[in-house]
Amino acid sequence: MDTRHVVERALVREARPEDDAVVGELLVEAFLTQYSKKLPDVVYGDERKRELRDVASRRKVATVLVAELDGQVVGTVALFKPGAPGSEAWLPNAADLRGLATAVSHHGLGLARPLMDAAESLARQWGVDAVCLHVRRGAEGVGRMYLRRGYERVPEGDLDLPTVFLEGYVLRFKKD
């Protein structure tokens, strides 16, 4: 499959209620597959899977975007406005980017790029100063992808949760 052709054909749009089930399963499958390969000690419990599948609740507090290819949802990302319920952004006037994933069948084809482009464009439209996000400690490849996009690793944004350590990254639109 021609990667460039796939990325050019991808349509990024806002998720609709009829997308919820597909997006939820895509998130669970993508996260389980990626982490089982790279971080085999990571286990997703039923509660985490339920959270990932609850796209309807996420759409109430965030903008959920999907990448569609030939009528099939093959990727997703969510963007929370500053102060939105569930946002983990640690900077004032910053959006929080969460749940970037592509369908396992489409991994490695570059579909994260149009999703990220659309999310960052939306954040700029909102007039935010930055986009914050978190990456599970140990997922170096994911971190490198964000660094290549201009994000900085910011330890002040780290979250040390009972079940996971998340490393903070930020893309600043306005310099301090």
Angle, alpha carbons 58-64-69 (nearest 5°)? 135
State residue 20's pLDDT score. Answer: 97
Q: Where are the alpha helices (DSSP H) in the chain?
A: 3-9, 20-38, 46-53, 55-61, 112-126, 140-148
The rounded mean pLDDT for the chain is 89
State residue 35's pLDDT score. Answer: 57
Q: pLDDT tens digit string along 69-111?
A: 989 999 999 999 999 999 999 999 999 999 999 998 888 888 9
**Domains in the chain, ordered, with CATH?**
3-172 (3.40.630.30)
State residue 105's pLDDT score. Answer: 86
Length of the chain: 176
Buried b / exposed e across 131-143, counting CB within 10 Å, b at 16+? bbbbbbeebeebb
d(CA 28, CA 50): 9
pTM above 0.85, yes or no: yes
Average pLDDT on 43-62 reads 87
Other Cβ atoms closer than 10 A to 71: 6
Of 53-57, 75-79, 153-157, 160-164, which range is least confident? 160-164
